[in-house]
């Protein structure tokens, strides 16, 4: 015959169940979305960012491909000349880096 369980045993079981559920919820909410990197070279920077968002990743970075450190204020005035990662590669939030030059500058498409 089994001994009746005490209230302490029930509280421990309830707490363990709550901890497991909370841990699972945190893990699923912190998983970054991933997608397949589209080919965005020779697109204007705004269109390239839009394409990356359509793929399912919403945070990408851009940089001045000339090395001058200029900020890309008006994204439509810049053209992407290289990208990381390569097209077809799986990537996540913040992993896409688009190197761009102003439209009409040497090195643009």
Contact 94/52 with Cβ under 8 angstroms?
no
Whether the model clears a pTM of 0.75, i.e. scores above it, the answer is no
Q: pLDDT per residue over 29-87, tens digit each?
A: 445 689 999 999 999 999 999 999 999 999 999 999 999 999 999 999 999 999 999 99
Q: pLDDT per residue over 73-97, tens digit each?
A: 999 999 999 999 999 999 999 999 9
Distance CA 46, CA 11 (A): 55
H helix or E strand, kind and range, residue 35: strand 34-36
Domains of the chain: 34-102 (3.30.10.20)
């Amino acid at each position: 015959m089994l001994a009746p369980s005490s209230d302490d045993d029930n509280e421990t079981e309830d707490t363990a169940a709550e901890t497991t559920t909370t841990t699972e919820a945190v893990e699923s909410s912190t998983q970054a979305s991933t997608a397949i990197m589209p080919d965005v070279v020779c697109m204007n920077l705004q269109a390239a960012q839009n394409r990356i968002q359509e793929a399912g990743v919403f945070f990408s970075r851009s940089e001045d491909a000339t090395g001058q450190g200029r900020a890309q204020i008006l994204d439509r005035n810049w053209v992407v000349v290289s990208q990381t990662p390569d097209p077809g590669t799986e990537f996540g939030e913040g992993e896409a880096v688009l190197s761009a030059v102003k439209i009409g500058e040497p090195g643009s498409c």
